[in-house]
Structure 1
Amino acid sequence: MEKNVVVGDRKSVLLNIYCLAIWLLVLSSGAQADTEIAIAVSKTPLSAPFYVAEQEGFFKAEGLQVNLRECLGGHRCMQDMLAREVDFATCSDMVITQQAALGKPFYVLSTFVTSADDSQFVVRRSSGITSPSDFIKKRIGYVRGSASHYFAEVFLLLGGANPESNTFVELQPEDMPNALYEGQVDAVAIWQPWSYLALQKSKQNAFVMDVIRPYTVTFNLTGSMALVDSNPQATVRLIRALVRAEQFILQNSDDVKRLVQQRTGMGENVLDAIWPGYHFHVSLTQQFLLTLQNEYYWLRQQDTEGKQFTRESLDFMDYIVAEPLRQLDVNRVQLVPALD
């Protein structure tokens, strides 16, 4: 009888040890997989891959617990990351150029969408402007240090107008619809959904000036040096989730447009009109690098006193980290080998 009790107790102890080991293994693997990261995303249709990855569970499938923090403009998203409030940020190429020129510490990890139609010149009809040549002594709203700023000047130059003959009024994107409506400015250079909201606010007294597009804007994933250096695999998993979102967007555009409508408040008709202009593709290309270099040249031209941007050129390869994307698909990285 005693023997049976001892054997029974031994089995019970072994079973408990086995269960404890399994529990600890599961707990340990879960702790390794669930990496918490915060991403500042601009509230725009350009951020569709992040909205999709969140809704479809692509972040979760990669073992990432992601907190998407929406901000009104990539320039603000970048500032949140530089302030260490988030680990990653989405922003346009111009924001990257501006902050790199100022010597700020961050990495560029990938482009995830390009568009020649996202930025627009919305004009107040009562201003008398009917063509770019009419921009003489006009007031133009823009967002400093963003794609809006670069777009505005290049737009005017390509249209035959002299930017210096106009007054540039610095605004935040959310202030532009009302500024145009009240006549504080004659036109605004701004991205979606703010151009749409500006048109909605001013109704018949506003229109989009349709001319040759000045340049193709890129929207990009940037990362804090601390996070990317300390946890490179989290970066790889994040980019893999975005690649899955890219594929989902290509196959389910109607569903994605409805999701973007919910997240941005844009009207269905407007989104249908501009959606074909968005090219969602996770990549790092030589064209992107050239855009950054051209923008730095433009920044130096703006620095008339030569005090802010003193370097003749800027090597953006010091900021670009291509290895995480290259691990996933070498063909998505198309940078000149000599520079990489």
Structure 2
Amino acid sequence: MHDRQRSVSPGWPVTGRYRCLLIVILMLGALALAGCEKPAASPPVTLAAPHSILPALIWLTADLGYFDEQGLNLKLQTYPSGKRALAALMRGEAELAATAETPFVIASFKRDDLRLYATLGQSDNEVSILARRDHGITAPPDLRGKTVATQEGSAIHFFLTSFLLFHRISETDINIRFMKVEDLAPALVNGDIDAVSIREPYRTRIRKQLGDDRLVDFHARGLYTKTYNLVG
């Protein structure tokens, strides 16, 4: 398991961050109005979630102690991605999960008992393609013949597919490599691949390690709006 992080960088270029902040304010206000009496403790519930900007509401509420104040016996279990958090729920290891809409939709074709309870945040700029400029990539057409990695069946995979369609690049024109999300950044930094479809916080980590002079960041704001959802 990954160690729990207690902070979220405000510098991430996410257009939905103000919407997330509004949700936090409304949620905290609702908790404050819930009454002065301490409620009885609830049955234990495990919530599987990744550390990412869009489900940050969960971690913020937990860090501020509001789940405890409302008598919620909630255990947060950390996973590298929402897709794997959802997989934990489907294995019976959690009652709730935070995940993007893409893994949820794919899973719903296999399980008809899944439910989406709330959307925690959304952004049309959290995912992008980072490519190695020193591998001869400066524009989207340069991806042809290159190795591009992503996590299969995830929001970043969906973004890659949408990006290729938008730029009229066939998937057969590139070599798509599927990897675990936590292995994507090291693969690009080490030069094992040419480009990666990636999200925060991994985007920022890659840029810090390689520097902008060795990278090109293919943004596509408005091409795909990613949502993060509470499901069970």
TM-score w.r.t. the length of structure 1 is 0.54
Matches within 5 A, 1:134-213: 134-203=142-211, 204-213=213-222
1:74 aligns with 2:82: yes
User: How far does residue 191 in structure 1 lie from its aligned partner after superposition?
Assistant: 1.0
- The one-letter amino acid paired with 1:214 is L
Of residues 40, 44, 47 in structure 2, which corresponds to 1:36?
A: 44
In 2, Cα distance between the equivalents of 1:37 and 1:140? 38
* Counterpart in the other structure of 1:132: 140
User: How far does residue 140 in structure 1 lie from its aligned partner after superposition?
Assistant: 0.7
Of residues 91, 102, 116 in structure 2, which corresponds to 1:108?
A: 116
After superposition, what is the alpha-carbon deviation per residue over 1:284-336, rounded to whole angstroms, capped at 9, x for unaligned?
xxxxxxxxxxxxxxxxxxxxxxxxxxxxxxxxxxxxxxxxxxxxxxxxxxxxx
- Please provide the CA RMSD for this pair: 1.9
User: How far does residue 81 in structure 1 lie from its aligned partner after superposition?
Assistant: 0.7
Larger helix fraction of residues: 1
Q: Which has the larger radius of gyration?
A: 1
In 2, Cα distance between the equivalents of 1:173 and 1:60? 31
Of residues 54, 74, 95 in structure 2, which corresponds to 1:46?
A: 54
- The one-letter amino acid paired with 1:139 is T
- The one-letter amino acid paired with 1:206 is L
In 1, Cα distance between the equivalents of 2:135 and 2:222? 22
Indicate how the Cα distance of structure 1 residues 179 and 213 shifts in structure 2: closer, same or farther if over 3 A, else same.
farther
Of residues 206, 219, 233 in structure 1, which corresponds to 2:228?
A: 219
TM-score w.r.t. the length of structure 2 is 0.78
The secondary structure found in structure 1 opposite 2:168 is coil
Indicate how the Cα distance of structure 1 residues 192 and 114 shifts in structure 2: closer, same or farther if over 3 A, else same.
same
In 2, Cα distance between the equivalents of 1:212 and 1:110? 24
Segments of 5+ residues of structure 1 without an aligned counterpart are 1-28, 224-340
- The one-letter amino acid paired with 2:87 is Q
Alpha-carbon contact 2:125-2:219 (below 8 Å) kept: no
In 2, Cα distance between the equivalents of 1:201 and 1:87? 37
In 1, Cα distance between the equivalents of 2:168 and 2:139? 10
Percent of pairs identical after alignment? 24
Alpha-carbon contact 2:114-2:231 (below 8 Å) kept: yes
In 2, Cα distance between the equivalents of 1:168 and 1:155? 13
* Counterpart in the other structure of 2:21: none
